[in-house]
Amino acid sequence: MTLACEYLPATGAPRQELVLLHGWGANREVWRPLLALLRPWANITLLDIPGVAPGRVAAEPELPLLLQGILDRCPETAVYVGWSLGGSIAMELAARHPGRVSALVTLCSNPSFVARPDWPGMAAQTFAAFAADVETQPAAALKRFDTLQVSGAVAPRDLLRRLQSLRRGTACDGLLAGLGWLQTLDHRETLPSLVQPQLHLLAAQDALVPSAVAHAVESRVAGNPAVQVQLLPRGCHLAPLEQPQVLASSLRTFLDHSGLLDAQPEVAPELEKAAVAASFSRAATGYDSVAGLQRRVGEQLLAELEARPGEPETVLDLGCGTGYFAPLLRARYPQAHYLGLDIAAGMVQYARSRCQAGNGWLVGDAESLPLAAESVDLVFSSLAVQWCYRPEHLFAELARVLRPGGMCVFTSLGPQTLHELRSAWAAVDSHQHVNTFLPVSRLLDAAARVPGVQLTLRSQAYGMQYERVRDLLDELKTLGAHNMNRSRPAGLTSRRALQGMLEAYESRRVNGVLPATYDVIFGVLEKR
């Protein structure tokens, strides 16, 4: 079973893997308010659950297949956080696959949603009537359910509008399987036997899960120091939207208390994005005059699209630079909406001024794209990826914005780029004078951690020739691609060191010219 999924790497040092499971009638968008609070320290996996998210399934899935589908999309071990029915699914995963669930957190979730003689919940007759309405008039039933979800909120009307705006489209079918799970899943006996640390958060004004569930759960797990039960003094069933700060704080405190936050010091990236943006902005007006290699590589990448049929609705030119490939991409896909995006505002401004009207231009970072999920069919990116030193963020963002079946074709620079220049500098000192780029193995490892994508790579060497080393150095400066690594030497290079490098490079002269090799990586990232 294939599930719609997003993997969002931590923006800081990752200390834990979190999997967030939404409730019945919702989708993964319900977690958005929490992401900015959790991502500084956690990698996050979001899922749209078939049978639970409206319009996400044509046939009703079976629970074992769903559970396996979730595990197939999620990290090997993670903390599972489930809201409402998502909490019941998380409990089931914790019981069936204890090695995959390092801790269990439930929000406004009832171990037995339907009331039992000794357990608070929704009356069986009420649930049966609601299930009948869902089968015959799902849209109307879902609206009534939403009203119950926001009942007890401080600002119910505003919360209701926010909830309903998060749904994609208007399809309200495919929800009967989830109702069946709500009716039959019963974890009253399961909770005391779970081996994982547990946190159960409930809301005092919840109209769907009675506050009395907090006491009932406490009674079941009494004596287990690894289990915490908290009743939030205010708030409705829709806690992820209404109380994100409270939930984020409680979750982090619980994980810290349980010893589940890895101590990983944050390592500064090898390259400052602000420096990259500023350098290429300054280079915008002169870039095309020396971009011979960039045109050769990009044109080869564009030619390789001929072997890939399809008519995308939206094409993203990622790292569009001066917009050189905008008219070529528009000619290749005349019906597509073109978007040009670059981290350098100067490049985007220059591209907008020289290209025809009708194109969309954006300033943004490839590792944090200012685009909606599943909004792009094809990403074309030539010689921009090498400036992304956190490839797991890049690939996760591409997976997020690509529609199912979409792909990104890209070129990047590999670690053997300008090895002649690097060797010449190494002959005179131990400083880093040439940009360092990530190897193929690092890119493959990063893509392997992002669920739902497949990456294929190949390398090709491009040789350039120069009359003088200074011609190469001037070209790099004009391109804006001079040394920008953090470990570059501070201050100006001495005349003696520069002369020594020039003499060392001269030993490579062949037939009157000096070679410079570019290690170009061609990649295709496909979203399943």
Beta-carbon contacts of 98 under 8 Å, excluding residues fewer than 6 positions away, are: 194, 195, 196
Local structure of 319: helix, strand or coil:
coil
Helix (H) or strand (E) holding 200: strand 198-203
Beta-carbon contacts of 222 under 8 Å, excluding residues fewer than 6 positions away, are: none
Helix (H) or strand (E) holding 165: helix 156-165
Q: Give the CA angle between residues 213, 217, 222 to the nearest 5°.
A: 150
482 is catalytic: no
Beta strands in 375-420 (DSSP E): 376-382, 402-413
Q: What is the 3-state secondary structure (H, E, C) of 22-59?
A: CCCCCCHHHHHHHHHHHCCCEEEEEEECCCCCCCCCCC
Q: How far apart are CA 24 and CA 20, in angstroms?
A: 13
Q: How far apart are CA 258 and CA 260, in angstroms?
A: 5
Local structure of 122: helix, strand or coil:
strand
Helices (H), 355-468: 391-401, 419-426, 440-448
Nearest alpha carbon to residue 59 among 186, 177, 197: 177
Beta-carbon contacts of 229 under 8 Å, excluding residues fewer than 6 positions away, are: 199, 200, 202, 214, 217, 218, 221
Residue type at 311?
E
215 is catalytic: no
Annotated catalytic residue, options 48, 206, 317, 377: 206
Local structure of 502: helix, strand or coil:
helix
CB 63, CB 1: distance < 8 Å: no
Local structure of 318: helix, strand or coil:
strand
Q: Which residues pair with 337 in a beta bridge?
A: 314
Q: How far apart are CA 292 and CA 269, in angstroms?
A: 29
Annotated catalytic residue, options 237, 342, 381, 393: 237
187 is catalytic: no
Residue type at 199?
L
Q: Any idea which residue has 């909004």 for tokens?
A: 375
Annotated catalytic residue, options 22, 48, 84, 519: 84
Q: How far apart are CA 254 and CA 2, in angstroms?
A: 32
Label residues 395-423 b or e (16+ Cβ within 10 Å = b).
Answer: bbbbbbbbbeebbbbbbbbbbbbbebbbe
CB 514, CB 508: distance < 8 Å: yes
Please list the active-site residues: 84, 206, 237
